[in-house]
Amino acid sequence: MKNNILHTAESRFLADHGWLKSAQTFSFHDHYDPQRLQFGALRVLNDDIVNGGKGFGRHPHDNMEIISIPLEGTLEHQDSMGNVAVIRPGEIQAMSAGTGIYHTEFNKNADEPVTFLQIWLYPNKLNVTPRYDQRDYGKGDMHNKFLQILSPNADDEGVWINQQAWFHIGNLDAGFETAYQLKDASNGLYVFVIKGDIAVDGQPLSTRDGYGLWPDSEVKITASSYAEVLLMEIPEKW
C-alpha cells in the first residue's frame, strides 16, 4: 500500500527573488530533496507571488504539461506559438510544451501583486505538438461542490492535457461534508487547500497545506471553516 504524504504550508521550499516569492511543494530550481520530488505525475506545485509589473522573461519549456491558476491579480502570457493572453482569478491556463516552446509571464498590473499556482505534470506522450488552452470556470457552480476544471479529454469540462489527470475546485461552507470519487481507481489524489481549514479522510489541513493520498476509490472531505480547495487526481505511473 502506498503511503499518504502531508506537505504542510510551512514545509515548502521558499525562494525569494525580490520580485518573486515562490513557495514550492516539490524540489525546484536550487532546491533538492529526494523525498520531495513528485506525487505520481505531479512534479511541480509552486505558489507564486509576482510584484507589480514584474514577471518571468522569455524562457523555454518542453515535454511538460503546465497549468497556471491565478488566485489574485492578473497574469499576462505570451508564447512562441503567437498566443497573447491575460488570465485572471476564475480562469485556468494549460500549456502542452511538447517539442518545445518559449514564453513569458508577467504581472499585467503595475501596482498590485499577482498570486498564482504553477503546476507541472509529466506528460503521457513525449514530443507532442505544443498547444495552449485557457478556460473561464469562474461562473461555474463551485459552492459546496467540486467543479471540474481540467481533464484528459478535449470534449470534457475545463482545459485538457496529455495526462490521465482531473482537477476540480470547490468553495465549501463551514461544516459541509462531501466525498470525491476517483475517475480512475488507480490514481492518487493530491489535495491543496487554497484557503481555510478542512479534513481529508480525517487528516486536518489548513491554508496552503497539501496532502497526497492513494484511496481505494473515494475520499471524504469535511470543511471546518469556509474553504477553497483544489483537488488534483494524478496517475502514479504514466
Partner 1 sequence: MVNVNILVLADHQEILETIIRLINKNEEWNGVGVSDYQEAAQAFEKSKFDLVLLGVGVDDETESRILQLCHSNDPGIVCMRHFGGGSGLLYSEIKHALAQH
Residue of 68, 70, 191 lying closest to 121 (CA atoms): 68
Residue 194: name the closest of 110, 123, 104, 90 by CA: 90
What's the closest the beta carbon of residue 132 comes to partner 1, in angstroms?
16
Q: Does 29 bind partner 1 (CB under 8 A)?
A: yes
Q: Which is nearer to partner 1, 61 or 135 (CB)?
A: 61
Residues from 41 through 100 that contact partner 1 (CB under 8 A): 43-44, 59-64, 97, 99-100
Q: Rounded to the nearest whole angstrom, what is the least distance from the CB of residue 99 to partner 1 in the complex? A: 6
Using the rule CB under 8 A, is 165 a contact of partner 1? no
The residue among 44 and 223 lying less far from partner 1, judged by its C-beta, is: 44
To partner 1, the closest distance from the beta carbon of 119 in angstroms equals 12
User: Is 27 a binder of partner 1 (CB under 8 A)?
Assistant: yes
Instruction: Based on the shown chain and the rule CB under 8 A, indicate whether residue 125 belongs to the binding site for partner 1.
Output: no
Q: CB of 58: closest distance to partner 1 in angstroms?
A: 10
The whole-angstrom separation of Cα 229 and Cα 70 is 14
Q: Which residue has the cell 496552503?
A: 208
* Residues in touch with partner 1 (CB under 8 A): 27-32, 34, 37, 43-44, 59-64, 97, 99-100, 102, 120, 122, 126-127
